[in-house]
Amino acid sequence: MKKFAIAFALLGTVVFVGCDLGAGGGDMQAQSYVNGLVAFVTRTGDLHGQILFPSEYAQHSIRFALDDVTFVTHPDGRFRITNVPAGEHQLQVRIKGYEPVALPVQVAQGEELKVQPVRLVEALGRVVGRLVRDKGGSAEGVEVRLVPDDGVAVTDRDGIFQFLGVSGGDHTLQVKDPRFFASNQHFSLTNNERRNLGNIRVYRQTRGDPQTARLQN
């Protein structure tokens, strides 16, 4: 029995109109582009396409965006979006472990655009580094996070951390352990780049500590 989810999005939230998200094949229901501008736009078109993983065994439903509106693919990667304002839009896919996609698409009034299959590419980048205490020694067992979406790692006995499968683009390394504080590390990677951030000094969190207060500001 098919399940139909109906939600109306305002100002760039998720939109599902009659979208069957069940596993396996089957009919692909359309999803409607709806946001705060639609009430003022009468010139619209449709588009459809498919987002493919490198391996058919990894294929599954994923979220993607058209501008600031989020949609979900059929399990085989297909999608169809209706009521898209005529003009240029950007189709964006960002999934952990794969290189991000930003594809411009031009929608014409009263027509349906066929987007060429979007083939995801596995991310092979690597980021490593070492946390050291302000008074010397390695910072063991400290949680660090790589944002926007490359996960969490914990330092080993030597204070070393690493992230595998990191995509290209802008990243920020943050220390998330409540016991310590460190300046955020901002950097950009090219696809498949391996980056060593070197030693990063962490400071123990204490109330009223001038050093901690300076870093937090």
Query: In this structure, are strands 31-32 and 78-85 parallel, antiparallel, or unpaired?
Result: parallel
pLDDT in tens, 90-133: 999 988 889 999 999 999 998 999 999 999 999 999 999 999 99
Q: Where are the domains of the chain?
A: 6-119, 125-216
Place of tokens 């058919």: 56
- For 108, the token pair is 């014409």
Same CATH fold assignment for domains 6-119 and 125-216? yes
The CA distance from 194 to 209, in Å, is 35
Q: What is the pLDDT along the chain (217 residues), one digit of tens a residue?
A: 444 333 333 334 444 444 443 444 567 788 888 765 555 667 889 999 999 999 989 899 999 999 989 999 999 999 999 989 999 999 999 888 899 999 999 999 989 999 999 999 999 999 999 999 988 889 999 999 999 876 899 999 999 999 999 999 999 999 988 888 899 999 999 999 999 999 999 998 876 554 443 444 3
pTM of the shown model? 0.67
Superfamily of domain 6-119: Immunoglobulins (2.60.40.10)
Q: What is the 3-state secondary structure (H, E, C) of the chain?
A: CCCCCEECCCCCCCCEECCCCCCCCCCCCCEECCCCCHHHCCCEEEEEEEEECCCHHHCCCCEEEECCEEEECCCCCEEEEEEEECEEEEEEECCCCECCEEEEEEECCCCEEECCCEECCECCEEEEEEEEECCCCECCCCEEEEECCCCEEECCCCCEEEEEEECCEEEEEEECCCCEECCCEEEEECCCCEEEEEEEEEEECCCCCHHHHHHHC
The count of C-alpha atoms lying within 13 angstroms of the C-alpha of 170, restricted to the half-sphere facing its C-beta, is 2
Can you give the pLDDT at residue 207? 61
CATH of domain 125-216: 2.60.40.4130
Backbone φ, ψ for residue 154 (5° rounding): -125, 135
Task: Write down the pLDDT at residue 217.
Answer: 34
Return d(Cα 4, Cα 165) in angstroms, integer.
35
Distance CA 121, CA 151 (A): 18
Picking from 29, 106, 104, the residue whose alpha carbon sits closest to that of residue 61 is 29
Tens-digit pLDDT profile for residues 194-204: 999 999 999 98
